[in-house]
Structure 1
Amino acid sequence: MEIALEQLSARHPAARATQPAAVQDLSLRVAAGEQLAVIGPSGAGKTTLLQLMACAMPPSEGRLRLDGADPWTLPRDELRRLRGRLLLAPQVPPLPPRQRVVTAVLAGRLPAMGLWASLRSLLRPSDIPAAFAALERFDLGDKLFERVDRLSGGERQRVGLARTLLAPATAWLVDEPLSALDPTRARQAIRTLVEGARERRATLVATLHQVDVALAHFPRIVGLRDGRLAFDLPAAEVTRERLARLYDRFEHELQGGAPATPSPEPGAAVPPMLMCR
């Protein structure tokens, strides 16, 4: 899926009128099948950018185009079908605590299923081998029939990523997927996510606090600061000087000291994983 933002601005409905827009006058184009990492300090507008791309909130100014169509001008049924091609994965995956891991992973397929098939899948997993294969890519095959509430935070985050591999979406919009993972697991997880998107020819946009991981695994890097585009460059051209300017007064985040829990932007609500029908 091609994603194009044209002078886009957005303000959260819950934000005070005196607060600046979370995203301001942003123009960006992501080609179908491209892989892009978005970096920047806390409050830069990274989560809001993903919500805009996922049609989770409308822009206040400018225009969003998905495969050439403005989603906010489409009839309701067409907008629903378009949203079915989008996956918005939040930093903390919304996994019901008493649910089995196999069911949680196969839920990634629900947007492509009818009502009765969806209900049957929730009660009786329909493709256990597919769930196992997705989990194995994150070294979680042995957790297939565990309950979600018996997993560690890092394991739950990897289960959420495994679910992404089974989603029918053609655009994966992934928010801080490595926050609960140690460096070794983080590298493995992002490598698997990038490979999975490439295999599916899915567009991948991921926000990351781990700048070194972004530079190592993504060919294109977008830097956001105060809701505005700071740079849009090939990874090889992102210099230490550019990073120092981007993270000015936030040096602890550049050095890997970013908080492990979400830091919502002003007025932001934490979204669920969005795979709308």
Structure 2
Amino acid sequence: MKLQLEAVSAAHPAARPGAAPALRAIDLTVQAGEAVAVIGPSGAGKTSLLQVMACALPPREGRLRLDGQDPWALPRAALQRLRGRLFLAPQVPPLPPRQRVVTAVLAGRLPAMGLWASLRSLVHPDDLPGAQAALESFGLADKLFDRVDRLSGGERQRVGLARTLVAPASLWLIDEPLSALDPTRAEQAIAALIDRARERGATLVASLHQVDVALSRFPRVVGLRDGVLAFDLPATQVSPEHLAQLYARHEHELLPGRPAAADVPPPRSPAPVGMLCR
């Protein structure tokens, strides 16, 4: 799917009146099948950019085009069909805690399914091999029938990413996919996303805090700061000077990704202690 943003400005729905827009006059074109990393300091507007691309946040000014169509000019039914061709993976995936992993993964197909098929899939998962193959790509094949609340933070994030591989989407929008992963798992996850997107001809746009990963794994890197496009370059042409300007006053965010405490299992409630009173 081809993406075009023409002078797009956007504001978060919860922003206070008079607050600066999250995005300002963004001009950006991503060709079908491209893999693009979006980097920038915290608060740069990376998540808002992905939400605009996913038709979740309408532009305040300018125009978004997906395969030449303005989604916000389409009738509601046509807009819903278009959204079925997109997949937005948030940084914190919305996984019901008591749900089985297999059901959580196959939920990636729900946007393109009808109501009754969606309800049936939630009760009786209909593609165990597909779910297991997606989990295998992220090192989680043995978690197929585990409950989500038994997973660590990093495992939950990888389950959210596995949803991408089962979604019938031609545009993958991935927000901070490595934030809860240690370096080994991060390398496995980003390789799975890039390789599977290439195999399917899907367009991949991922926001990343890990600048080293963006430069080493993505052919094209977009720099965003204060809602403005700072640069749009082949990764090989992104210089230390570009990064220094992009992360000015945020230099600590240029450090390579550190192991995340979120990959440790969440603390459980202490077991009750029996007491004998005399």
Q: TM-score when scaled to structure 1? A: 0.91
What amino acid is aligned across from residue 15 of structure 1 in structure 2? A
Match of 1:32 in 2: 32
Q: CA deviation at 1:121?
A: 1.1
Higher relative contact order (CA 8 A, sep 6+): 1
Q: Is the 8 A contact 1:101 1:144 kept in 2?
A: yes
Structure 1 distance, partners of 2:184, 2:16, is 41
SS in 1 for 2:209: coil
The corresponding residue for 1:106 is: 106
* Aligned position for 1:225: 225
Gaps of 5+ in 1: 262-277
How far is the alpha carbon of 1:111 from its aligned partner? Answer: 2.2
Q: 1:93 to 1:72 in 2, by over 3 A?
A: same
CA distance in 2, matches of 1:257, 1:134: 24
Task: Confirm or deny that 1:51 pairs with 2:54.
Answer: no
**Judging changes above 3 Å, is the alpha-carbon distance between structure 1 residues 237 and 204 closer, same or farther for their aligned structure 2 residues?**
same
The CA deviation string for residues 133-190 of structure 1, in whole angstroms up to 9 with x for no partner, is 1111111010010000000000001111111100011101110000000011101100
Deviations 1:22-43 (A, max 9, x none): 0001100000111000000001
- How many residues of Structure 1 are paired with residues of Structure 2 in the alignment? 261
TM-superposed deviation, 1:229: 0.5
What amino acid maps onto 1:18 in structure 2?
Answer: G
CA distance in 2, matches of 1:168, 1:52: 20
For residues 254 and 20 of structure 1, what CA distance do their matches in structure 2 show?
A: 25
User: Which residue of 2 is the match for residue 141 of structure 1?
Assistant: 141
Deviations 1:99-122 (A, max 9, x none): 000111111112232222211111
What RMSD, in angstroms, separates the aligned Cα atoms of the two structures?
Answer: 1.5
Residue 42 (structure 2) aligns with = 42
* Unmatched 5+ stretches in structure 2: 262-278
Structure with max Cα Rg = 2
Q: How do residues 1-277 of structure 1 correspond to structure 2 at under 5 angstroms?
A: 1-256=1-256
TM-score normalised to structure 2 length: 0.91
Equivalent residue number for residue 265 of structure 1: none
Distance 2:251 2:187 in 1: 22
Identity percentage of aligned residues: 74
Contact kept, 8 Å, 1:252 with 1:258, in 2: the verdict is no
Instruction: Tell me the distance in 1 between the aligned counterparts of 2:61 and 2:28.
Output: 14
